[in-house]
Copies of this chain bind each other. A is one copy, B any other.
Amino acid sequence: MTAVAAPTAGAGTYSDDELARDLRWWAAANYLTAAQIYLQANPLLREPLTPDHIKPRLLGHWGTSPGLTMVYALLNRLIRRTGQQTLLVVGPGHGGPAMLAGAYLDGTYSEVHPEVSQDLTGLVRFVRQFSTPGGVPSHAGVHIPGSIHEGGELGYALLHAAGAVFDDPDLLVACVIGDGEAETGPLAASWRLPAFLNPRRDGAVLPILHLNGYKISGPTVLGRSPDEDIRGYLRGQGWDPVVVAGDVPARVFVELDAALATAHARIREVQDRAHAGAAPDGVRWPAIVLRTPKGWTGPRTVDGVPVEGTHRAHQVPLARVREDPEHRAQLAGWLHSYRPEESFDEAGRLAPELAALAPSDDLRLSASPRAGGPRFRVRPLPLPDLADYALAVPSPGAVRHETTRPLGELLRDVLTRTGRTDGGGDFRLFCPDETNSNRLGAVFQATDRCSMLPVQPGDESIGPDGRVMEVLSEHLCEGWLEGYTLTGRHGLFATYEAFAMVGASMIVQHAKWLQQAATEPDRSPVPSLNVLLTSTTWRNDHNGFSHQGPGLIDTVAPLSPDVVRIWFPPDANSTLVVAEECLRSRGRVNLIVVDKQQHLQYLDLEAARTLVSSGAAVWEWAGTEEPDRNRSDLPDVVLAAAGDVPTLEVLAAAQLLRDHVPHLRIRVVDVVDLMGLLPPGEHPAALDPERFADLFTDTVDVVFAFHGHPRAIHPLVHGRPDVDRFHVRGFTEHGTTTTPFDMVVLNRMSRYDLVLEALRRSRRVPEGGDTLARLCREQLRRHREHVVEALEDLPEVRDWTWEAEQR
């Protein structure tokens, strides 16, 4: 038996026997892929194919699958040879049946789902369930063991791969990127990974850019680009690509095997040198460009029209197999071409020599304990005691402070406690170049900004060992954090509120993943995706309208209630408590919305804990109700706030009411956990009816100042008693470069607007109300004049504060 010499150094040899066995495994995987798309019975074609064996509705994507199964087969070989701990991220997630085939052939699928056994009965279930109502969906999603990536919405494969290898030096992620996905923005930006990947403390990503030339119905840009251009493109971003191309399976197998072996050896060499102390910059990481036909080994032509190697192989290449005997015969011929009888024995069990090709136990691509299976472990974050960071707040409003700064100090110590000697750890902060701007700069006492690029004199807090990931892309920050948490580590994404919308769709998709993960019996909960929205709408007065937008709240609120939480801590200590809650939580998307600027501080740590744990509270000290009143004694009007600036305006409004109409019974409510407003049954955090009534009553009008778009409150309270009584002020899309106070006036959420609304909605017409209303209208008129006059005679436009009013 001769051995095929691998063409590249380091690849070792690939004997004919080995090659033949891997090709047989590949045939079995391709068979199972096609069988899942077409068959509901007769899974090994033991009987002549009849219409009854065919699914009533054919769903699934064949085109990308044979390339994926080939990569799977050769990664198995690489792992067998090297023991390399490996994950496979499949960008073309449409190729779900290929990944299911791999997991089934690995044996993992049957271990996780014993009813899908390794025999004929199991095989029937295996092919039936695919893309069938009540069965399993068609993408490489959370239901496939070993997957950390769905690949439904394209663009995030390389980001998830990167997030997975950060701080995991023993891990290799092979990441298949389709040429369709390569046209997306997030993917295009994610090629910059080498600028952020440290061979001394991180694992490695091996991108496999799989060019099969076509999207759904047209050619791809990269598919039609010359190799030289693609090489230059990737080299220019820190990769050292090699092209593997062909359509003769055995040749492509040999060449791809050699490319994988060379790449792996090169990665180990880079890492070994880094561990030995070599300077980590200037590394070029291996990458593979793989050109194979779309729908490879499938029908060459259908009804006389070319299919293999064209966009027509994208989904179901033979569509009318139930109705059309010729199509059916062609399908039978296609399926038989994989010789299922040589792969599976009489009982439907995989031939032992093929089963032996799966790596052992945890090394199987489908069984990695990094990918969320039953052996997945999350180390709880070693959070320090919040008391060490809390501001002393002797009485509400007595202190002004940058609200996010104590959080930065907490994060600093979390970074220290989670650090390793090689620079790695299990906590990272992700931020589009705004860590300092967002007042979290204390973290730089513990670690640097991560960069593998040359450091220059005068650089501050930048270096290869940094665990603060600053890149001017919300997509990269979000996607890296997703990959990091999906593999069991912790993090926070801190970003300007308005530009958090850039990654909105990623958050939606991640929430869907978490929602589905909770229903998979073998998946343990992963750390939550924590997003800090700061530099908020109300305090981007210096940057203007493009920087003012609370839209992410509208995006996240309607997602699965079991996943999403939106927090509005009113001050620094409540921000600490919320952050602790979020960093400890699992399986959630937490939005924390709080501004970074100097704000009044209201709560000491204990009060903050009480507020956060109850979700919302009456602030007795700010209202005028008797402390020892009966539950049935109702206020005349309720003032409520969610958010820091709304809280300030509500408190100032309450002060005006206290001073001018002291007999009016007003109640002030502060809401920190927005989802508590939803009626019971709609969200786990929903306040029960009694608690809701204790806050808002069941009948009294509520003037609500909200951080986001005002109408966002109405969908939450719908289902609560008499919701017509909720009168909400918030951001009505009026903004520009101006002062903070002008912002609340422009959007009619100022203290004066709130007082006027409260007087209008109060159950009683209070004595002195008219005078107060006149005063408020006068203040608003003066403010308007003042702004208009400012251009003529530019005094400092006053930024009214609550204390200023108190004086």
- A interface, CB within 8 angstroms of B: 40-41, 55-57, 59, 93, 125, 128-129, 131-139, 141, 150, 152-155, 180-181, 183-192, 195, 215-221, 224-225, 228-238, 306, 310, 433-437, 449, 451, 453-454, 456, 458-460, 462, 470-473, 475-476, 498-499, 501-502, 504-505, 508-509, 512, 515-516, 542-547, 549, 551, 554-555, 557-560, 709, 711-716, 718, 722-724, 726, 733, 736-739, 742, 787-788, 790-791, 794-797
Query: Looking at the complex, which one of B228, B231, B462, B737 makes contact with A218 (CB distance below 8 Å)?
Result: B462
**How far, in whole Å, are A504 and B503 apart by their CA atoms in the complex?**
9
Query: Looking at the complex, which one of B59, B470, B709 makes contact with A542 (CB distance below 8 Å)?
Result: B59
On whether the beta carbons of A711 and B558 are closer than 8 Å, the reply is yes
Residues of B within 8 A of A190 (CB): 185
On whether the beta carbons of B218 and A449 are closer than 8 Å, the reply is yes
Query: Looking at the complex, which one of B129, B451, B458, B551 makes contact with A508 (CB distance below 8 Å)?
Result: B551
On whether the beta carbons of B512 and A794 are closer than 8 Å, the reply is no
On whether the beta carbons of A458 and B310 are closer than 8 Å, the reply is yes
Query: Looking at the complex, which one of B125, B451, B499, B795 makes contact with A505 (CB distance below 8 Å)?
Result: B499
**How far, in whole Å, are A658 and B181 apart by their CA atoms in the complex?**
50
**How far, in whole Å, are A723 and B796 apart by their CA atoms in the complex?**
45
Residues of B within 8 A of A718 (CB): 711, 714, 723-724, 726
**How far, in whole Å, are A134 and B185 apart by their CA atoms in the complex?**
37
- 3 closest residue pairs by CB, A with B: A152-B546, A233-B236, A185-B185
Residues of B within 8 A of A560 (CB): 733
On whether the beta carbons of A134 and B472 are closer than 8 Å, the reply is no
Residues of B within 8 A of A437 (CB): 216-217
On whether the beta carbons of A791 and B501 are closer than 8 Å, the reply is no
On whether the beta carbons of A454 and B310 are closer than 8 Å, the reply is no
**How far, in whole Å, are A231 and B584 apart by their CA atoms in the complex?**
46
On whether the beta carbons of A498 and B462 are closer than 8 Å, the reply is no
On whether the beta carbons of A154 and B547 are closer than 8 Å, the reply is no
On whether the beta carbons of A224 and B451 are closer than 8 Å, the reply is yes
**How far, in whole Å, are A47 and B546 apart by their CA atoms in the complex?**
37
30 A-B pairs with C-beta separation under 8 A: A55-B794, A56-B795, A131-B542, A134-B791, A136-B737, A141-B544, A150-B546, A154-B472, A184-B185, A184-B472, A185-B473, A185-B475, A187-B189, A188-B189, A217-B434, A217-B470, A218-B451, A219-B456, A219-B459, A219-B462, A236-B236, A306-B458, A310-B458, A504-B551, A554-B558, A711-B715, A714-B723, A723-B723, A723-B724, A724-B724
How close is A640's CB to chain B, nearest CB, in angstroms? 16
- Knowing A225-B453, A458-B310, A794-B132, say if A544 contacts B137 (CB, 8 Å): yes
On whether the beta carbons of B475 and A184 are closer than 8 Å, the reply is yes
Residues of B within 8 A of A234 (CB): 236
Query: Looking at the complex, which one of B150, B216, B453 makes contact with A224 (CB distance below 8 Å)?
Result: B453
On whether the beta carbons of B137 and A737 are closer than 8 Å, the reply is yes
On whether the beta carbons of B236 and A138 are closer than 8 Å, the reply is no
Query: Looking at the complex, which one of B134, B192, B501, B545 makes contact with A221 (CB distance below 8 Å)?
Result: B192
**How far, in whole Å, are A547 and B187 apart by their CA atoms in the complex?**
19
- What 9 additional pairs, Cβ within 8 angstroms, besides A56-B794, A554-B554? A131-B737, A153-B502, A155-B502, A216-B436, A509-B546, A714-B718, A714-B723, A718-B726, A724-B724
Residues of B within 8 A of A473 (CB): 183-185
**How far, in whole Å, are A788 and B135 apart by their CA atoms in the complex?**
8
How close is A328's CB to chain B, nearest CB, in angstroms? 17
**How far, in whole Å, are A221 and B190 apart by their CA atoms in the complex?**
12
Residues of B within 8 A of A739 (CB): 57, 133
On whether the beta carbons of B544 and A152 are closer than 8 Å, the reply is yes
Residues of B within 8 A of A436 (CB): 216-217
On whether the beta carbons of A218 and B181 are closer than 8 Å, the reply is no
What residue in chain B is nearest A56 (Cβ atoms)? B796
- Knowing A56-B796, A451-B224, A502-B153, say if A435 contacts B217 (CB, 8 Å): yes
Residues of B within 8 A of A498 (CB): 153
Name the residue among A55, A181, A456, A715 with the largest chain B CB count within 10 angstroms: A715
On whether the beta carbons of A471 and B221 are closer than 8 Å, the reply is yes
